[in-house]
């Protein structure tokens, strides 16, 4: 962990970065970001936004620019998607998290949203990292699917070095030999990040497993491992989703997950006292 001047604790006293987004303090308590993989229509996004808000989510996610494996797959609605997210924020009060793919889009996309997401495929896109580093917007930096913790922290370092201290790390699974899950969710990286860095660390159990049945247990496990929050895909009607429907929770499942996470609060506080 050499040359991590800004992201590492460097043997100094333990401290945590707290990032304020709207009324939410990321890095303090447990924060839940929820919403569809992609913004598909106004109706789908607003409906899902109200449902996740009702269940207690703190921020709304939704992709307007989608990094798809195939160039023929749905690529997102672009600016129209951002306008829909803006409306969802107006109606629900939930701050917005959305992915930005291209350095040329960073400054104008930043005007629409509250948190800029850098996806796994772009973790080491250094010009994109520098560009988001020049804004003051919080950045959710997903772990590259082939990246070590050190490489990941170096990418966060790029953002901090440009003058933006508001970086949230997000573990989203790494590639392994197992084909049962979409990725292998590396929950051990959560306490590892806490050992070496002051940045908040989130977990994405949706892309991390790619399996609906594993999203709830891995969300609860992320909380137990000490994560500062999760980012989870929720769709008002997963069967109809244009992207990642089979890993998206429906609103009832999400409400049940929130209930369980809330019950873990007291338990985590008790454990911290021991």
Binding site for ligand PEP (CB under 6 A): 37, 63, 67, 99, 119-120, 142, 172, 204, 207
Q: Give me the residue label for tokens 């009060």.
A: 93
16-45 residues in contact with Mn ion (CB under 5 A) are 37
Q: How far is the CB of 9 from ligand PEP (least distance, A)?
A: 26
The number of helices, as runs of H, and strands, as runs of E, in the chain is 9, 10
Here the tokens at position 183 are 């990725």
Residue of minimal CB distance from ligand PEP?
A: 119
Those residues with Cβ within 8 angstroms of residue 273's Cβ, 6 or more apart along the chain or in another chain: none
Q: How far apart are CA 62 and CA 84, in angstroms?
A: 10
Q: In the range 185-244, which residues lie near Mn ion by CB under 5 A?
A: 244
Closer residue to ligand PEP in complex, CB, 8/61: 61
DSSP state for residue 220 in the 8-state scheme: H
Smallest distance from ligand PEP to CB 178, Å: 17
**Main-chain phi, psi angles of 258, to 5 degrees:** -60, -40
With a CB cutoff of 8 Å and minimum separation 6, the contacts of 57 are 32, 33, 34, 35, 94, 234, 254, 258
CA-to-CA separations, 241 to 3, 40, 48, 209, 258, in angstroms, rounded: 43, 8, 12, 18, 22
From the list ligand PEP, Mn ion, none, pick the one residue 97 interacts with, judged by a Cβ distance below 5 to 8 Å according to partner type: none
Tell me whether residue 203 or residue 261 sits nearer to ligand PEP (CB atom).
Answer: 203
- Report CA 28 to chain centroid distance, whole Å: 16
Other C-beta atoms closer than 10 Å to the C-beta of 188 total: 11
Nearer to ligand PEP, 28 or 151 (CB): 151
| Residue among 119 and 251 whose Cβ is closer to ligand PEP | 119
CA 7/CA 215 separation, integer angstroms: 29
Residue closer to Mn ion, measured from CB, 99 or 114: 99
Q: Which does 258 bind (CB under 5 to 8 A by kind): ligand PEP, Mn ion, none?
A: none
Name, in order, each residue with C-beta under 8 angstroms of 21's C-beta and a sequence gap of 6 or more.
59, 95, 114, 115, 138
Site for Mn ion in 241-260 (CB under 5 A): 244
Closest approach of Cβ 175 to ligand PEP, in Å? 11
Q: How far is the CB of 208 from ligand PEP (least distance, A)?
A: 8
**CB under 5 to 8 A by kind: which of Mn ion, ligand PEP, none does 62 bind?**
none
Least spacing, CB of residue 62 vs Mn ion, in Å: 10
Tally of CB atoms within 10 A around 56: 15
Q: C-beta of 97: minimal distance to ligand PEP in Å?
A: 9
Nearer of residues 53 and 207 to ligand PEP, judged by Cβ: 207
Query: How do strand 19-21 and strand 167-171 relate by DSSP bridges?
Result: unpaired
| 238 interface partner picked from Mn ion, ligand PEP, none, CB below 5 to 8 A per type | none
Q: Which is nearer to Mn ion, 8 or 241 (CB)?
A: 241
Q: 99 touches which of Mn ion, ligand PEP, none (CB within 5 to 8 A by kind)?
A: ligand PEP
- Catalog residues that contact Mn ion under the rule CB under 5 A: 37, 244
């Amino acid at each position: 962990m050499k040359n991590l001047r800004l992201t590492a604790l460097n043997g100094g006293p333990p401290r945590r970065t707290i990032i304020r987004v709207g009324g939410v303090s990321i890095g303090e308590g447990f924060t839940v970001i929820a919403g569809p993989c992609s913004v598909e229509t106004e109706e789908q996004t607003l409906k899902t936004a109200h449902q996740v808000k009702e269940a207690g989510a703190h921020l709304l996610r939704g992709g307007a620019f989608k990094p798809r494996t195939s160039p023929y797959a749905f690529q997102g609605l672009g600016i129209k998607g951002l306008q829909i997210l803006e409306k969802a924020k107006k109606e629900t009060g939930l701050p917005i998290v959305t992915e930005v793919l291209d350095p040329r889009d960073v400054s104008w996309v930043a005007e629409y949203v509250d948190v800029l997401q850098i996806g796994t495929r772009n973790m080491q896109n250094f010009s994109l990292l520098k560009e988001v580093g020049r804004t003051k917007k919080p950045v959710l930096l997903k772990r590259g699917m082939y990246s070590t913790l050190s490489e990941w922290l170096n990418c966060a370092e790029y953002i901090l070095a440009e003058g933006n201290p508001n970086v949230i790390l997000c573990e989203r699974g790494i590639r392994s030999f197992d084909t049962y899950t979409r990725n292998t969710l590396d929950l051990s990286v959560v306490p590892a990040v806490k050992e070496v860095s002051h940045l908040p660390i989130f977990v994405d159990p949706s892309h991390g497993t790619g399996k609906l049945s594993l999203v709830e247990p891995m969300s609860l496990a992320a909380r137990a491992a000490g994560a500062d929050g999760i980012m989870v895909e929720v769709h008002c009607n997963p069967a109809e989703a244009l992207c990642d429907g089979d890993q998206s929770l429906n609103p009832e499942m999400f409400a049940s997950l929130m209930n369980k996470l809330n019950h873990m609060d007291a338990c985590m506080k008790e454990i911290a006292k021991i």
